[in-house]
A = this chain, B = another copy of it.
Amino acid sequence: MIDIQSQKDEREIPLEKVGIKGLKYPLTVLDKEHKTQNTTVEADLYVNLPVHFKGTHMSRFIEVFHKHHQKLSMPHFLEMLEEIRVSLQAAKAFAKLTFPYFLEKPAPVSGQKAVMSYICTYEGSVEKNGSDIKKTFMVSVEVPVQTVCPCSKAISSRGAHNQRGRVKVTVQCGPFFWIEDLIDKVEKAASIGLYSLLKREDEKYVTEKAYDNPKFVEDIVRDVYLGIKELGDFPFFSVEAENYESIHNHNAFAYTEFKKQE
């Protein structure tokens, strides 16, 4: 059968990324507490396409991903990327995996346990240059939090508006860390972290603790920044915070990033 994709292309335009997007699959990742965790993933898998090829062979992405989806630790992720690169005969390969990561979390006073869900991504690339292979790997986690507004608290004679927010941290891998460590740094930087299950004594505790600890999105981004610095010497990281403001129908947002000087 004719192989249209392998035909010569005359347009002289290299493509940065060609591949598949939005593949939904079961996934098994590593977990600090239970060794492995079963979850579900949405995967985007790409390679670059040299100037002289008309197209890429999309089925090979699935063949490689299918082999790896039941053991996707961070080291396996980079091995899978290299296997995709070789299988597609490309110089570069990219992948982005987005999955909920679950942790059992006890309520702060009653100690009752329930599961919290955090959206994680693994995003990376491998690039071959002669005999050299350059790898990058970014891990991000999105942590839902509560924020109490410092301005509202300071100017009001009683109460303070507060709301659910989300904080997303992305770190470029270098020093060893657990996803659990990133979540911990974010929850400590918020007015308070969230819980799936709170009994009345817990609700009293989180209400008072959050009220005593008001934070703007700006504060959270800065405090998470300091927390990540404590965690390790990452070559790059970024922090964004978005508040679903309870007084507005739009959100408050703050973002910053760190890049190590080389």
Residue ranges of A at the interface with B (Cβ–Cβ < 8 Å): 1-5, 9, 11, 13-26, 37-40, 44, 46, 49, 54-56, 58-59, 62-63, 66, 69, 100, 102, 112-117, 144, 146, 148, 150-152, 154-164, 192, 194-201, 203-204, 206-208, 210-212, 216-219, 221-223, 225-226, 242, 244-257
Say how many copies of this protein the assembly contains: 4
- A-B contacts, 25 of them at CB < 8 A, read A1-B200, A2-B155, A4-B150, A4-B155, A5-B216, A13-B221, A15-B222, A17-B255, A18-B253, A18-B255, A20-B248, A24-B117, A24-B250, A46-B253, A59-B199, A117-B249, A152-B204, A155-B204, A158-B208, A161-B210, A162-B163, A164-B164, A195-B248, A196-B249, A198-B248
B156 touches A244 (CB 8 A): no
Contact of A49 among B69, B158, B160, B218 (CB under 8 A): B218
**Complex contact A55–B216 (CB within 8 A):** yes
Output the least CB separation between A206 and chain B (Å): 6
A63 touches B197 (CB 8 A): yes
Interface of A, helix, strand, loop or mixed by DSSP? mixed
B22-A208 in contact (CB<8A): no
